[in-house]
Amino acid sequence: MEKKPHFVRREFLPREVSSISLALLLVAVLLLNVLLYLYLNKFYNSLGHTETDPSLCPFGHFKLGSVKNCSPWLSCEAINREVRKLKCVGEGAVKKVFLSEWKENKVVLSQLTNLELKEDFLHGLKMLKALQSKHVVLLLGYCEQQFTILTEYHPLGSLRGLNETLHIPKYKSMNTWHHRLMLAIDYVSVIYYLHSSPLGTLVMCDSNDLDKVLSQYLLTSDFHILVNDLDALPLVNRSAGRLVKCGHRKLQGEFVAPEQRWPYGEDVPFEDDLMPPYDEKTDIWKIPDVSNFLLGHVEGSDIVRLHLFDIHAACKKKDPAERPSAREVLDTYRKVLTLLVREAAMPGTREML
């Protein structure tokens, strides 16, 4: 009797299924890494990973809002004729700040209030002119004779109001560990820019407590950070043996770096001439405190702090020479962002592999 041919159904072995799944997973991880690279590359550039901004105008010019053409900085005559004060929005030891209007644009007019501090005012203007970049508030014009400076207006104000801003319904979606870490990266990017500026290594001296530091920076409407107040920005030049001292009075508290505090004890009266100078590593000491504020207390922020623990511990070394540079801190922050974005995009990937 003739035997009928048998058609045998071939079943995939578990090992074959496992191999295919692994291959698909590896392809997915590869595609994810490509997307992450493109995203982070775009993100770093927006933060100033390249310190020059091709959209900036030539020196002595500015571009405001959606206007395509660059205009020269406004002169004394133009400011007096074209700028209209609206209201006073702030006053410090050096200057008074007015919300103003120029050609239907909101702008900020700053005026010296104390002639004894005119050198500080003019130093701030000099820094503002020389350091124009994506890290610094946009200069629109100035008048040295009348001690006035005109800059771009940012309605969200200084970093002091960050938490209040993030409770506004319009901005609640930004109140995440991801956006807060990007703000911290922005902040360290500014410090790195100042430490490697075209003028040399500059120290952010107006920073004796957290509130004062936050008042020196602006929050833009697209959630970036700009440095705004450059009145106290001395230069460190190690090769010439030039260090700095932030002011001429006794500094106290844990916020300022150890080398900024009077080293001779309470029994010895403070004398400015006896106070040793220091360098830019005072800015590094303060980074963890500022970042802790920026990270806030949202879901995931403690995980970010855990990843930043080692670099922050290094920032708090008592010996300034043992602290990392601003570039090293910035690189670490960026690596942590990359790692956490990858893990958030594909949770459990490591365990699957």
CATH code of the domain containing 128: 3.30.200.20
What is the structure's pLDDT at 343? Answer: 87
On whether both 169 and 233 belong to a single domain, the answer is yes
Final residue in a domain of this structure, among 100, 122, 152: 152
Indicate the pLDDT class of residue 351, thresholds 50, 70 and 90: very low
On whether both 105 and 213 belong to a single domain, the answer is no
Q: Would 25 be classed as within a structural domain?
A: no
Angle of CA points 122, 287, 318, to nearest 5°: 105
Q: Would 274 be classed as within a structural domain?
A: yes
On whether both 188 and 294 belong to a single domain, the answer is yes
Counting residues of the chain whose pLDDT is more than 90, the rounded percentage is 76
Can you tell me the distance from the alpha carbon of 61 to that of 118, in angstroms, rounded to the nearest whole number? 25
Q: Would 178 be classed as within a structural domain?
A: yes
On whether both 203 and 166 belong to a single domain, the answer is yes
On whether both 146 and 195 belong to a single domain, the answer is no
Q: Would 182 be classed as within a structural domain?
A: yes
Total domain count, the chain: 2
On whether both 73 and 181 belong to a single domain, the answer is no
On whether both 277 and 228 belong to a single domain, the answer is yes
Domain interval for residue 284 = 157-344
CATH of the domain at 229: 1.10.510.10
Final residue in a domain of this structure, among 152, 170, 203: 152
On whether both 268 and 180 belong to a single domain, the answer is yes
Phi and psi of 312, rounded to 5°? -70, -35
Average pLDDT (306-326) is: 98
Tens of pLDDT, residue by residue over 39-70, are 555 555 544 434 546 467 899 999 998 788 99
Tens of pLDDT, residue by residue over 163-199, are 999 999 999 999 999 999 999 999 999 999 999 999 9
On whether both 251 and 337 belong to a single domain, the answer is yes
Let me know: does 231 contact 120? Beta carbons within 8 Å: yes
* HSE value, Cβ hemisphere, 13 Å, CA-based, for 130: 16
Q: Would 306 be classed as within a structural domain?
A: yes
pTM of the model: 0.84
Residues in contact with 293: Cβ distance below 8 Å, sequence separation at least 6, in sequence order: 162, 210, 214
Final residue in a domain of this structure, among 152, 179, 202: 152
On whether both 257 and 181 belong to a single domain, the answer is yes
Counting residues of the chain whose pLDDT is more than 70, the rounded percentage is 82
Q: Would 111 be classed as within a structural domain?
A: yes
Whether pLDDT at 265 is above 50: yes
Residue 181 has a CB neighbour count (10 Å cut-off) of 24
Can you tell me the distance from the alpha carbon of 171 to that of 68, in angstroms, rounded to the nearest whole number? 28
Q: Would 64 be classed as within a structural domain?
A: no
Least confident of 170-179, 207-216, 305-314, 342-351: 342-351
What is the overall mean pLDDT for the chain?
88
On whether both 327 and 234 belong to a single domain, the answer is yes
Work out the end-to-end distance of the chain between its first and last CA atoms, rounded to an integer number of angstroms.
54
DSSP per residue over 152-171, as a string? Answer: E--TT-BGGGHHHHTTSGGG
On whether both 254 and 107 belong to a single domain, the answer is no
Tens of pLDDT, residue by residue over 99-142, are 999 999 999 999 999 999 999 999 999 999 999 999 999 999 99
Cα-only R_g, the chain: 26
Q: Would 266 be classed as within a structural domain?
A: yes
Q: Is 331 helix (H, G, I), strand (E, B) or coil?
A: helix
For residue 240, the 8-state DSSP code is G
